[in-house]
Amino acid sequence: GANNLSKIIALKMEKGFKDKISALISGQLSERLTERFVETISSTQAAVKKTVKKSLYPIHQGQIPFSNCKITNGRKAIRNMFDLKVFSEMVYR
C-alpha cells in the first residue's frame, strides 16, 4: 500500500522533482520566497521609522486581584490579614 502510493506520488511530481530536491538540499531558495522576505523586511523598516519615541509613558495602575468578586469567609479572613498593613508588620500568629 504505502510503497505503491509513494511511487504514484513520485511519478506525479517527477517533472522538476529532482531539481526541487537538490535545491532544498543545497540550501537555495526560490525567487518567490526571497521576494516575500524582502517585501516583509522593507515594510517593517518603514513602520519602525514612523514610530515616535516618547519620553513619558502612561502609568498603568492595577487593582487588588479578585477585589470585585464575592467574598467568602476564607477570603474575608485573608483580606483582613493583609488589608492596610505594612508588609514588615505582618507576622505569623
User: What is the pLDDT, as a whole number, of residue 8?
Assistant: 66
Number of Cβ atoms within 10 Å of the Cβ of 23: 13
Q: pLDDT of 12-25, one tens digit each?
A: 666 776 676 666 66
Torsion of CA 48, 51, 53, 59, to 10 degrees: -110
Q: pLDDT of 45-73, one tens digit each?
A: 666 666 666 677 777 777 777 777 777 88
> Which residues are CB-neighbours of 30 under 8 A, at least 6 positions away?
23
- State the DSSP code for 61: -
This prediction's pTM: 0.21
User: What is the pLDDT, as a whole number, of residue 75?
Assistant: 77
Query: Taking the CA of residue 46 as centre, how many other CA atoms within 13 Å lie in the half-sphere pointing to its CB?
Result: 5
Q: Which has the closest alpha carbon to 82: 60, 70, 66?
A: 66
In the chain, pLDDT over 90 holds for what percent of residues?
0
